[in-house]
Chain A
Amino acid sequence: MADPPFTVNEEYVQDTTKKLQFNEFQEQPRSVQPSSMPKQAAIRDRGISVLSLTVVVLLGVVVQLVVGLGSYSGKGRPPMHGDFEAQRHWMEITHHLPVQEWYRNTSSNNLQYWGLDYPPLTAYHSKLMGWIAHRIDPSWVALSESQGIETASHKLFMRLSAVLSHLLTFTPGVVLWLSVKRPLTIHPVHEALLIVLFPGLISVDHGHFQYNSISLGLFLISVYFLVYRKTVIASIFFVLALNYKQMELYHSLPIFVYILAVSLKLYYHQTEKYIVVDFLQSAANLWTVGLTTLCTFLLMWTPLAYFGDENTAVDAIKRIFPFERGLFEDKVASVWCAFNPIGRFTDIDRSLMMKFSMTIVLFSSLPSLLILFLAPTSRFLRLTLFIVSLNFFLFSYQVHEKSILLAAVPALLLMQEMPLVVFSFLTTASCSLFSLCIKDDNERHLLLFFGYFIYAFTVLPKSEGRGRYLFLLRGLLSFFLNMLEMYGTPPTRYPHFYPYITAVYSCVCFLCDLIYLNYYLIQSYLLAGPKPKTE
């Protein structure tokens, strides 16, 4: 810079004693207080961020797609194939046949070949998928000619449909649930990962192939609204879930009791110590919920009656509740199967056995339902859902090993409260699905189960103490039995020996879980005490 803008005042240079002119501050300064700094809350982890959730969901999609590269049920096994073919066949039936033939044995619909036996929402979903499939490649759903089709592009279509269904129903349910404010013992990112990556559901939906995520997702959404006591919306979603898969009946008792308890306006009279029921208010609430439920049901079933004939709905109901099937299928971890050699339940008359099993389910569920009625809180709701669905799985008539998913989903929601029990249960539940994987040539899913088990072990809070080793032991025993199932040579007299042993072991574990859960529920109810709203 050639010409500096400032120069030095020469007066100061020449007169070395010249001082700066000082101006003192006039007002008397107040006592100097150190200004108080509020604690900085700029950097702190709060809940789970949208970004972390996105990453978790995308990881789930990646895992689902990777699992989807594997085999599916009934691949290369004519003439009946498996559930994959069943789902495809329903698309074919619903796309090509008029409504009245969907649930009926006709010349073009052989009910012996994977006849539709799920409620109407499944049928509508199949129709939609069938329409899309037809638009892309008609040979995928060509009437009767497409049976047993096995092409790479069709498999990709089915796999993508399962992933999309999962993204559109189950994922929103999980996201809604994670947004609920509650005390956290496990970091929410871990919780999200453990829910999204639960291998039982992934293996059944994206390996074996089914659309369980839809009904379970609708159920999750319903639970979310129940937690916030939005009973009307919740009942809509639950009826939708029920109309997708009748197995959702496992969850219906607690939800019914919860809605009933929430709708009844009880007032606890402080001085006189008695409970008053506000009849008018309660009746109005119940009426609204009942009407919504009824309307949703009607909405689901009207198309059957409208587009079909007067018997279509009856046919559907007959198909949906197939009591002519056996007490259980294959080697399932239900009490009737596991203890059959002792009790010889299969020899008992069917209708008697049906009534007997129903009674046991109801009686074993009664304590938890009663507590839920007295104290309809979010925690008790989830606990009761878990207990009752487990009761159904263990004691009811006609149980399938995949039904354990119905107990697993409420269990996932209890992760924060009781991680040890939930993780133990989930591990056993996954392992009980392993015989299904072997049947589908998906033995590698055991790695998924094992990976989840290890992850859950590292996530378990240290405060669980010795329980963590119990968890480890119990899980490892399950995996040992699964390995036997895969590699062991069974005794010649009993070819199903190892799957059976696994089923028995799982059943015993489930029974222990059930007892503990009931104990835990009753204990925490007694500690918390009945809490109707006081006035």
Chain B
Amino acid sequence: ASIAVPTLVGLLVVKILLFDSYSSTDLEVHRNWKAATHNLPLSQWYTENTSEWTLDYPPFFAYFEKCVSRFAALIGMEDILIIQKEALMNNRVLYFLRSTVLASDMLYFMATIIISSLMEGSRSRDCLFLLLSTHTTFVLLDNIHFQYNAMLTAMVIMSIVCMMRGRLLWGALIYSVLLNFKHIYLYYAPGFVVFYLIHMFDFKNILRLPFFHTINEGISLFSVLLLPFLFSFLPILLSSSNPINALQSIISRLFPIQRGLTHAYWAPNFWSLYNSLDLVLNRVLSRFGWILPPPQYTSGLVQEYSHTVLATIGVGVCLLLILLSLFPLLSLIRLDRTPSSHLSSPSFHLLLSSLSFFFFGYHVHEKALLLPLIPLIILSAQYAIFSPLLLDLTLVVSSSLTPLLFSTPELPLRLAFMLFQFSLSLLFVCRVHHQSARRYLSIDRVTSLVVLSILDITHSFLDKILFPSSPFISLLLISLTNSLILLSIYIRLLSLAFPFPSIWFKKWKCLRKESVHSDGSFTSSIDGMEEVSIVVAVDIEVTRGDPTLAVISAVFFDLKEGNRLDSVSEVIIYDQLYIPHFLALSEEKYVSSLVKKVIKERPELTPQVIICDGNGRFHPRKFGLACHVAASTGIATIGVSKNIDWGVIGGDLNGRKKYGERMKKLLSDIPQRLGWSPLDFFLPHTLNVVSYPKSTKHVYVSAGLGISLSTSTEIIVLLLSKGIPATAEADNLARRIASQISSM
């Protein structure tokens, strides 16, 4: 709350200073709509065509324009509400329209306060608020270029808020109202469908639920969705003499299809790549003597066109591709409604569905990038795993919108906005998820930042000098770069929603690695206790509230002295995979990279043995987490676990059912003294059980690679005798930091 006031004041100041800046024809568009709705009866709104900028938003937006024009008339500004063919532009028009945007921005500002108040922890609350409310994309689109996106986005956010709070009918109502303001938000529709199928109808268990309950819910949802449509369309239809014609004219205004596959500037999607490929093929083949028509899509005009080499794409192909690409989203109905994970979050569904539409849509405008951006910002405040995607999308969004600002005075603002927005987003993800900036500044991301900045500068200042014959070359390159980045974002998101191909691939890689190492080719090996001086225990703890953020702690011990040397902890973005017997898939890389990093930075801490919280060779494939860590670090490992993995004798739960009682008896017979017993209940014998003094607690020790079971057990017992429960120490440390982070 303390940052809200200065932020608001600062935003207002900057936006008012931008009143006189460049404004696009959209200013005249909106003025014309206000004039039309003010001067004409309802029935003529969608038929009026004095100006070429005819009303092509759904009726609620027209009512909004009507309200604003009524207000304008009230304060004596009727002179700006004249219907005429030419643009009417003077300071009265400019300042009035700019102020209406400024006022409607307040709705967005309040929505950002509300959504950020849902976050856990003051840090993510403040960060989300700052990032959303000051997002330069809105300044560029609304306060310079001129539109009312912030007001509409406020409705998106409020809808998400309702869905997050479980007020599903309210969320649906707001969404339906939003659709009647601007129909581009149909991009979200499949996402809404999937979310409601999961959370309202519990689709996975729908057959087990009472039928009437489902019907009941369905009817209420349907009526809530229908109501805004009735309110918006009925007045217009009823006021005209021929409602069918009226409806037709509205529909033809809302969905114009004679526009061509891509916009004058290619929005960074699949078709940009397609056009580029066609262009390259055209150039190459022409050089070899093929006679091809020159490409039409580089003319900078909005028109229908055909490709020269590749097949020409129609609306039908686009729709088909969109439907296909929605499959991973639809597959999410496999989820239960109870656990709240990042996959069942409403923002994720909206993100995925809008991105599919953007990526394969027909005549997509780059402004539509706002639709995936907002859900992604909210997601990355909640779940760490989305934060790298946010940085990439921020780059794409802020550099894709550059063609909207092309007038001389505003040119440097584009680059400044882009760099500012990128670094602010970077600061945001670093602060919220406790990461160092270096982790996010990977080579590819920095490269794309640099490339896009250079392209922006060349496009602003040097194009006419460097490429006088093809003035659109840097725009083309910007679009191409961005579509490649967006493609990678899209693929990563799809594999989150539909992880099975990537899991299959990872499993295959994991098994291949096991087959390489299981022949005993491990080089380093420990023959006895005297070779071991430093051991390290490593454990990972997932934070509360965010299953994709975890703390990994490594505690180093001096075995001979029996004391603790040091500890290293790191907050990691945790890509968790719940696959039985493949714990290594999710944990191995974090453990190995932490150990390697410590060895590199502090060689005096180089351990001879790593103690992992998991299995060693006592594992269904005789190759547990500890073996994997050993294989990739080259250091001997011990697996210590608190439970017995019954999967080793085949059949996941049968073994426990059959022999569980017997095992319990065996364990309870162990004296409550410090020592160990060979657990030769399982053959071959690879597991020992270590018992604690004066406690019924046990841990199970199995050797990883490069060390024998007896030495492993000796080390664990020796540590315990010195009062050091090795894995428990790492576990406690990680848990404490994780809870600290969660409460921040």
**A residues near B, CB below 8 A?**
1, 4-9, 12-13, 16, 19-25, 27, 29-30, 32-35, 37-38, 40, 42-43, 49-52, 54-55, 58-59, 61-63, 65-70, 152-153, 155-156, 159-160, 163, 444, 447-448, 450-451, 454-455, 458-459
Complex interface: chain A residues within 8 A of B666 (CB): 12, 19-20
B residues 516-572 with Cβ under 8 Å of A? 563-564, 567, 569
| Contact A447-B17, Cβ < 8 Å, known A20-B669, A152-B409 | yes
Asked whether B259 is an interface residue with its Cβ less than 8 Å from the other chain, the reply is no
Which of A9, A34, A38, A155 has the most chain B CB atoms inside 10 A of its CB?
A: A9
Complex interface: chain A residues within 8 A of B110 (CB): none
Asked whether B477 is an interface residue with its Cβ less than 8 Å from the other chain, the reply is no
Contact A55 B678 (CB under 8 A): no
8 Å CB contact of A24 from B9, B410, B430, B675: B675
CB distance from B552 to the nearest CB of A (A): 12
**CB pairs A–B below 8 angstroms (14 shown):** A5-B648, A9-B683, A13-B659, A22-B675, A23-B677, A29-B693, A35-B723, A40-B733, A40-B737, A52-B427, A55-B427, A160-B412, A448-B13, A451-B13
How does the 8 Å CB contact mask read for B14-58 relative to A, with 1 for contact and 0 for none? 101111110000000000000000000000000000000000000
Complex interface: chain B residues within 8 A of A38 (CB): 567
**B residues near A, CB below 8 A?**
2, 5-6, 9-10, 12-14, 16-21, 136, 407-413, 416-417, 419-420, 423-424, 426-427, 430, 434, 437, 563-564, 567, 569, 618, 620-622, 648-651, 655, 659, 662, 665-667, 669-671, 673-684, 686, 689, 691, 693, 717, 720-724, 729, 732-733, 736-737, 740-741, 744
The CA-CA distance from A29 to B719 in the complex, in Å, is 10
The residue of chain B having its C-beta at the shortest distance from the C-beta of A449 within the complex is B13
Contact A22 B677 (CB under 8 A): yes
The CA-CA distance from A236 to B2 in the complex, in Å, is 43
Complex interface: chain B residues within 8 A of A24 (CB): 671, 673-675
Complex interface: chain B residues within 8 A of A155 (CB): 409
List the 8 closest A-B pairs by CB distance, nearest first: A4-B650, A20-B677, A58-B420, A451-B13, A24-B675, A32-B723, A6-B648, A152-B408
The residue of chain A having its C-beta at the shortest distance from the C-beta of B648 within the complex is A6
Complex interface: chain B residues within 8 A of A8 (CB): 649, 655, 659, 681-683
| Contact A25-B675, Cβ < 8 Å, known A67-B17, A153-B408 | yes
Complex interface: chain B residues within 8 A of A40 (CB): 569, 733, 736-737, 740
The residue of chain B having its C-beta at the shortest distance from the C-beta of A6 within the complex is B648
Contact A12 B662 (CB under 8 A): yes
Contact A69 B20 (CB under 8 A): yes
The residue of chain A having its C-beta at the shortest distance from the C-beta of B736 within the complex is A40
Contact B662 A458 (CB under 8 A): no
The CA-CA distance from A447 to B18 in the complex, in Å, is 12
The CA-CA distance from A8 to B9 in the complex, in Å, is 73
Complex interface: chain A residues within 8 A of B412 (CB): 65, 156, 159-160, 163
Contact B17 A444 (CB under 8 A): yes
Contact A7 B17 (CB under 8 A): no
CB distance from B581 to the nearest CB of A (A): 9
The CA-CA distance from A22 to B408 in the complex, in Å, is 85
Assuming A69-B409, A70-B20, what are 6 further A-B pairs, CB within 8 angstroms?
A4-B650, A6-B648, A7-B682, A8-B655, A69-B410, A156-B411
Contact A22 B737 (CB under 8 A): no
CB distance from A257 to the nearest CB of B (A): 38
The residue of chain A having its C-beta at the shortest distance from the C-beta of B729 within the complex is A35
The CA-CA distance from A83 to B472 in the complex, in Å, is 38
Which of A6, A34, A65, A458 has the most chain B CB atoms inside 10 A of its CB?
A: A6
The CA-CA distance from A59 to B412 in the complex, in Å, is 13
Complex interface: chain A residues within 8 A of B689 (CB): 20
Complex interface: chain B residues within 8 A of A451 (CB): 6, 9-10, 12-13
Contact A61 B420 (CB under 8 A): yes
8 Å CB contact of A62 from B416, B665, B669, B740: B416
CB distance from A413 to the nearest CB of B (A): 22
Complex interface: chain B residues within 8 A of A153 (CB): 408
Contact A23 B676 (CB under 8 A): yes
CB distance from A108 to the nearest CB of B (A): 30
The residue of chain A having its C-beta at the shortest distance from the C-beta of B721 within the complex is A29
The CA-CA distance from A133 to B236 in the complex, in Å, is 59
The CA-CA distance from A458 to B4 in the complex, in Å, is 10
The CA-CA distance from A13 to B720 in the complex, in Å, is 31
Complex interface: chain A residues within 8 A of B683 (CB): 6-9
The CA-CA distance from A156 to B22 in the complex, in Å, is 14
CB distance from B24 to the nearest CB of A (A): 16
Contact B10 A42 (CB under 8 A): no
Which of B10, B13, B19 has the most chain A CB atoms inside 10 A of its CB?
A: B13
The CA-CA distance from A98 to B14 in the complex, in Å, is 43
The residue of chain B having its C-beta at the shortest distance from the C-beta of A25 within the complex is B674
8 Å CB contact of B16 from A12, A160, A447: A447
Complex interface: chain A residues within 8 A of B674 (CB): 24-25, 29
Complex interface: chain A residues within 8 A of B19 (CB): 444
Complex interface: chain B residues within 8 A of A32 (CB): 723
CB distance from B77 to the nearest CB of A (A): 20
Contact B723 A444 (CB under 8 A): no
The CA-CA distance from A422 to B456 in the complex, in Å, is 40
Contact A20 B723 (CB under 8 A): no
The residue of chain A having its C-beta at the shortest distance from the C-beta of B17 within the complex is A66
The CA-CA distance from A489 to B744 in the complex, in Å, is 55
The CA-CA distance from A280 to B169 in the complex, in Å, is 87
CB distance from B723 to the nearest CB of A (A): 4
CB distance from B142 to the nearest CB of A (A): 15
Complex interface: chain B residues within 8 A of A22 (CB): 670-671, 675-677, 691
The CA-CA distance from A66 to B677 in the complex, in Å, is 75
8 Å CB contact of A35 from B420, B564, B665: B564
CB distance from B453 to the nearest CB of A (A): 12
The CA-CA distance from A7 to B19 in the complex, in Å, is 79
| Contact A6-B649, Cβ < 8 Å, known A20-B677, A43-B740, A447-B13 | yes
| Contact A55-B434, Cβ < 8 Å, known A21-B677, A70-B17, A156-B408 | no
Complex interface: chain A residues within 8 A of B744 (CB): 43
CB distance from B136 to the nearest CB of A (A): 8
Contact B6 A455 (CB under 8 A): yes
CB distance from A260 to the nearest CB of B (A): 42
Complex interface: chain A residues within 8 A of B563 (CB): 35
8 Å CB contact of A55 from B13, B420, B651: B420
CB distance from A198 to the nearest CB of B (A): 14
The residue of chain A having its C-beta at the shortest distance from the C-beta of B562 within the complex is A30
Complex interface: chain B residues within 8 A of A450 (CB): 9, 13
Contact B416 A58 (CB under 8 A): yes
Complex interface: chain A residues within 8 A of B720 (CB): 25
The residue of chain B having its C-beta at the shortest distance from the C-beta of A451 within the complex is B13
The CA-CA distance from A9 to B663 in the complex, in Å, is 12
CB distance from A75 to the nearest CB of B (A): 13
Complex interface: chain A residues within 8 A of B620 (CB): 1, 4-6
| Contact A61-B659, Cβ < 8 Å, known A43-B737, A152-B409, A444-B16 | no
Complex interface: chain B residues within 8 A of A6 (CB): 618, 620, 648-649, 682-684, 686
CB distance from B535 to the nearest CB of A (A): 14
Contact B13 A30 (CB under 8 A): no
Complex interface: chain A residues within 8 A of B10 (CB): 451, 455
| Contact A62-B9, Cβ < 8 Å, known A5-B620, A9-B683 | no
The CA-CA distance from A55 to B17 in the complex, in Å, is 21
| Contact A66-B18, Cβ < 8 Å, known A1-B620, A58-B423 | yes
Complex interface: chain B residues within 8 A of A63 (CB): 14
Complex interface: chain A residues within 8 A of B21 (CB): 66, 69
The CA-CA distance from A447 to B618 in the complex, in Å, is 71
Complex interface: chain B residues within 8 A of A69 (CB): 17-18, 20-21, 409-410
CB distance from A25 to the nearest CB of B (A): 4
Contact B569 A4 (CB under 8 A): no
The CA-CA distance from A9 to B681 in the complex, in Å, is 5
The CA-CA distance from A20 to B733 in the complex, in Å, is 33
The CA-CA distance from A457 to B666 in the complex, in Å, is 71
CB distance from B628 to the nearest CB of A (A): 17
